[in-house]
Amino acid sequence: MTQHRAQPNSQTLQHRLAAIGKNYYGLLGLHPSASVIEIRQAYRQLSKRYHPDTTTLPPHIAKGKFQQLNEAYATLSNPERRAAYDLKIRYSRISVMQPTPPLNRPPGASGHSPNHAYLDPIDRPLSPGELFALLLMGASLLGCLLLAIGIAVWRGDPL
**Tens digit of pLDDT for each residue in 46-68?**
888 888 888 888 888 888 888 99
What span, in angstroms and rounded, lies between the C-alpha atoms of 121 and 138?
Answer: 22
pLDDT for res 142? 97
pLDDT for res 48? 85
CATH of the domain at 38: 1.10.287.110
6 and 82 housed in the same domain: yes
What span, in angstroms and rounded, lies between the C-alpha atoms of 12 and 14?
Answer: 5
Q: Over pLDDT 90: what percentage of the chain?
A: 18
15 and 89 housed in the same domain: yes
131 and 54 housed in the same domain: no
Which phi and psi angles does 7 have, rounded to 5°? -125, 85
CA torsion 14→83→89→2, rounded to 10°?
A: 60
**Pick from 2-6, 96-100, 148-152, 154-158: least confident:** 2-6
Answer for the pair 18, 29: CB distance below 8 angstroms, yes or no.
no
The whole-number average pLDDT for the span 101-109 is 52
Supply the range of the domain harboring residue 57.
2-98+108-124
pLDDT for res 124? 67
pLDDT for res 106? 52
pLDDT in tens, 113-147: 445 555 555 566 778 888 999 999 999 999 999 99
| Domain presence at residue 32 | yes
